[in-house]
Structure 1
Amino acid sequence: MPENLHKVKQEIYKNIFKYANGGIAIVGLNGNWIKVNDSIVNFLGYSKEELYEINFQKITHRDDLNLDLGLMDQLLKGEIDNYQIEKRYFHKKGHIIWALLSVSLVRNIDGTPLYFISQLTDISSQKSSSWHLQFLMNVIKGQNEKLKDFAHIATHDLRTHIGNLNSITEFLEEELPDIVKSENYQMLHESISNLNENLKNLTKIQVDKPKKFNALAKLSLYNYVKNAMYNISSIAKKENCQIINNVKQDIYIFGIEAYLDSIVLNFLTNAIKYRTEHQPPIIELTTSEKNEYIVLHIKDNGKGINLEENKARLFTLNGTFHNHQDSRGVGLYITKNHIESIGGKIEVESQVGKGTCFSVYFLKA
């Protein structure tokens, strides 16, 4: 009976070694391969006969070899019972593969070391994904640095130009006192004032410290719509565009001043930009309430968007869907990011030739 039990145990060990999903190897004290299973062969690309002629040091990446040998030495000295490391091997074809290596030591009855049991798990794909993610993070970090530099330069230069424009309007008022009665001059003066206010809002944004929801300001949606309409009043007048503001004056949302300026302004200018040629553009702004949101609806009668073809890339960077000379595929991408950064979301309905309605969800104040 004991002999039969021993045979059963031997058969079990043999089957575990042979059919294990991961790589299992018996490695000699000098690093030579004594016995390997098929998973090791598939992983490293060498046949069993080829592996038995070499040791693991020969196919280990040199940057990982000292760590592995040092831990093996600790095992032999009895300082540790086992160890696990991420390690690089050279495949027979020459490329690098990554393994999660687990090693334990088998000793004789008298305590003398016999051999190592090594288990190898292929983690090359996980490492590849990790490197790809790190690469993207480095790209994003670089872009953020460029964006911060651009923001500093842009606000500085804009401040200079606004100062010059203010000086010019003062000179004009001194030389031509009656000019202040001109509607166009009043529009120019008010636009410069609004531009200066927008610049002040931009400087409040700390680009290296993202805003938390509890730091958002309570803002009058009506006032921001009204200001945006005034800022593009000359464009609307030129294109014979009618903008209808049905936003109620008592509606308040949570947001960031500069972001809300940009959001409303972008939707209005887009509606005018993508107007049809056969009818004057009409833009209507309304609101509704939905759970914790105030929803701003911006509806136009423009060209419309084929959502079946373009919905997936509607808010992507460089995603354009109209052959307009000013289309860059940036505005909606930035706008969507602004909306989501203040806890909102955006939906769109559109029909080609009939117009588009963007629904922007803001947190209700």
Structure 2
Amino acid sequence: MAESLKEILFQLIKEREDAFEFIRSYAHNGIWFADKSDTITEQWINPRFWKTLEYDQDLINVDKPEWGEILHPDDWEKASIMYFDFINERRDDYDVKIRFKTKTGKWIWMNCRGMLITSIPNECDKILVALTDITKQHEKELSLNKLIQRYNHIIEGTHIGTWEWNVATGETIFNERWAEMIGYTLEELKPTDINTWAKFAHPDDLEQSNALLQEHFEGKSEFYEFEARIQHKNGHWIWVHDKGKLITRTPDGSPEWMTGSHQDITFRKKNEEEIKSLLVVATNQNTRLLNFAHIASHNLRSHVGNLVMLEQLLQNEFPEVSKNQYATLMSKAIENLSETVDHLNEVVKYSSDQADKLAPLEVKQYIIKAIDDISALIEEVHGEVIINIPDELEVMAIPAYLESIILNLMTNAIKYRHPERAPLIKLTFSKNESMTCIHFQDNGLGIDMKKYGEKLFGMYNTFHDNKDSKGIGLYITRNQVEAMGGTIEVSSKVNEGTLFTVSFKKPDELSLSEF
């Protein structure tokens, strides 16, 4: 009977265009041909089908195969329902994907597509089905679906809106999060196209956005990237970081599909605006404070000068006054006030200097000069200075500041020397990616860092019983270092000594930052 069905099929192919076109389309696939019947009693299956399943058709009953043995159990119900709906004309097409077992036990996916052949002279209606091996395609689809699922999870996790734009047609696809950012559902925005974006975008942003898009289309930028404002449903504006990339072009090279994302950065932009406002306030306050310091310093110096002049006139006119106890106290008070004004002038001077005065300076030259300046003092206390710094080592500094810093730290090492040993000062250096560090190590009294560490660089703070201590030197030193973009750090142990580390910008680091 199978051979009879085969002959009928071949005759139909010759006589009927629909049968011919179907077979032509699926010539290299498995073919199943049978009577249209609820009980499939007569059928013909071509050799290609059995070859796909790795069977030798000479060793099996090809006319009456055991479908239950080769059809996947989970697909049996689906295949049966589709088949009966089709032959009973409850659906127009037969198109189902099901699994078959090969001779070696593997499961392969096949796409079964069929057609009904009716009005056959002297014959009942027939069903013709092509069975195509789609295993590789199905595996690719599974991998793609996993990738899409992973991509969707990433989008959900990062909470970003996405867009896909056909530049040629204007068609634009947004995800639900994109609509949610501006207070809508995607359904409310449909139908969507590029005008949807233009409708909600801030008018002042469109010109720059279009210019950046054009640059990207012309290949001048790898990505399109822009921070834009979009109007929320409630009327306020939100900020988004808009980033995208052109992924396809038309055959003539024109931009086609572009994909991208919108990330809500409103919170960040608000913080930036607050920081800018605070910076303006702080800058204005600093300017006013500096102006006040200049005025106060100038006026105080004038008044102190008058007091000193009056004191001298009084002593010249009435020499006996100098023996008066109160006159002596007044003279000392005037002297202290004059010294305080000098300190204030120094602080104002350091605060006014600008970093554009920085120049590459050879550190060792300034160290040698400082040693020469205090050589008598070093010799008096039998001190020793060891310099392990190369002649050519340069740092970016203001000459007067560098000289002052070195001199102050070295004189401190001698001033606060340990009474039981001669002072030893070691000067070394180190480097990191952007800074050159000069280390000042002494063997003096040391500082209780737990007790005084936070106060060390404060004005008028002293930590030893030394009558010459004013508490201004380290304060000025830190201000000088920081004015040049550097840092000063200290570590110390009582009765062992102190290490000051002063970090300066490297010459190449400064030059790179200025361009």
What corresponds to 2:276 in structure 1? 134
DSSP-derived class of the 1:46 partner: coil
> What is the aligned counterpart of 1:218 among 408, 411, 417?
408
> What is the aligned counterpart of 1:40 among 153, 178, 184?
178
CA distance in 2, matches of 1:101, 1:36: 13
CA distance in 2, matches of 1:189, 1:172: 11
Q: CA deviation at 1:76?
A: 4.8
Identity %: 24
Given residue 321 of structure 2, which amino acid in structure 1 is its aligned partner?
A: I
RMSD between aligned residues: 4.7
DSSP-derived class of the 2:351 partner: coil
Q: Is 1:193 matched up with 2:335?
A: yes
> What is the aligned counterpart of 1:209 among 337, 353, 361?
353
What corresponds to 1:84 in structure 2? 225
CA distance in 1, matches of 2:222, 2:143: 24
Given residue 353 of structure 2, which amino acid in structure 1 is its aligned partner?
A: K
Q: CA deviation at 1:147?
A: 2.0
Given residue 15 of structure 1, which amino acid in structure 2 is its aligned partner?
A: Q
Given residue 190 of structure 2, which amino acid in structure 1 is its aligned partner?
A: Y
- Relative to 1, partners in 2 of residues 1:339 and 1:164: Cα closer, same or farther, differing over 3 Å? same
What corresponds to 2:447 in structure 1? 295
What corresponds to 2:249 in structure 1? 107
CA contact (8 A) 1:87 1:100 kept: yes
What corresponds to 2:138 in structure 1? 4
Q: Is 1:15 matched up with 2:149?
A: yes
CA distance in 1, matches of 2:222, 2:489: 54
Q: Can you list the C-alpha shifts for 1:211-254, whole angstroms capped at 9, x where unaligned?
A: 978442427679x99xxxxxxxxxxxxxxxxxxxxx99x9999x
What corresponds to 1:71 in structure 2? 212
CA distance in 2, matches of 1:121, 1:70: 21
Q: CA deviation at 1:337?
A: 7.5
CA contact (8 A) 1:99 1:121 kept: yes
Q: Is 1:24 matched up with 2:162?
A: yes
Q: TM-score, normalised by structure 2?
A: 0.42
What corresponds to 1:147 in structure 2? 289
CA contact (8 A) 1:336 1:345 kept: no
Q: Is 1:57 matched up with 2:198?
A: yes
Q: CA deviation at 1:157?
A: 0.3
CA distance in 1, matches of 2:268, 2:474: 31
- List gaps (5 residues or longer) in structure 2: 1-133, 356-396, 426-440, 456-471, 482-487, 492-497, 503-515
CA contact (8 A) 1:33 1:51 kept: no
DSSP-derived class of the 2:339 partner: helix
CA distance in 1, matches of 2:188, 2:443: 68
Q: CA deviation at 1:66?
A: 0.7
What corresponds to 1:156 in structure 2? 298
What corresponds to 1:262 in structure 2? none
1:114-125, aligned counterparts within 5 Å?
114-125=256-267
CA contact (8 A) 1:292 1:363 kept: no
Q: CA deviation at 1:107?
A: 2.9
Given residue 181 of structure 1, which amino acid in structure 2 is its aligned partner?
A: K
Given residue 295 of structure 1, which amino acid in structure 2 is its aligned partner?
A: I
- Relative to 1, partners in 2 of residues 1:340 and 1:31: Cα closer, same or farther, differing over 3 Å? farther
CA distance in 1, matches of 2:344, 2:249: 70
Which structure exhibits the higher relative contact order, with contacts defined as CA atoms closer than 8 Å and separated by 6 or more residues? 1
Q: CA deviation at 1:111?
A: 4.3
CA distance in 1, matches of 2:163, 2:312: 86
Q: Which has the larger radius of gyration?
A: 2
- List gaps (5 residues or longer) in structure 1: 226-246, 254-288, 300-311, 315-333, 347-360
CA contact (8 A) 2:244 2:259 kept: yes
Q: Can you list the C-alpha shifts for 1:134-170, whole angstroms capped at 9, x where unaligned?
A: 2232222212211221121111101111122123223
- Relative to 1, partners in 2 of residues 1:136 and 1:78: Cα closer, same or farther, differing over 3 Å? closer
Q: Is 1:173 matched up with 2:303?
A: no
CA distance in 2, matches of 1:56, 1:70: 16
CA contact (8 A) 1:18 1:38 kept: no
What corresponds to 2:42 in structure 1? none
CA contact (8 A) 1:17 1:24 kept: no
What corresponds to 1:96 in structure 2? 237
Given residue 218 of structure 1, which amino acid in structure 2 is its aligned partner?
A: N
Q: TM-score, normalised by structure 1?
A: 0.56
DSSP-derived class of the 1:118 partner: strand
What corresponds to 1:182 in structure 2? 324
DSSP-derived class of the 1:295 partner: coil
| Higher mean displacement: 2-11 or 166-175 | 2-11
CA contact (8 A) 1:25 1:33 kept: no
Q: Can you list the C-alpha shifts for 1:175-213, whole angstroms capped at 9, x where unaligned?
A: 533211012211211221232233233323321337978
CA distance in 2, matches of 1:129, 1:76: 33
DSSP-derived class of the 1:206 partner: helix
CA contact (8 A) 1:61 1:88 kept: yes
Given residue 100 of structure 1, which amino acid in structure 2 is its aligned partner?
A: H
DSSP-derived class of the 1:93 partner: coil
1:269-284, aligned counterparts within 5 Å?
none
CA contact (8 A) 2:245 2:259 kept: yes
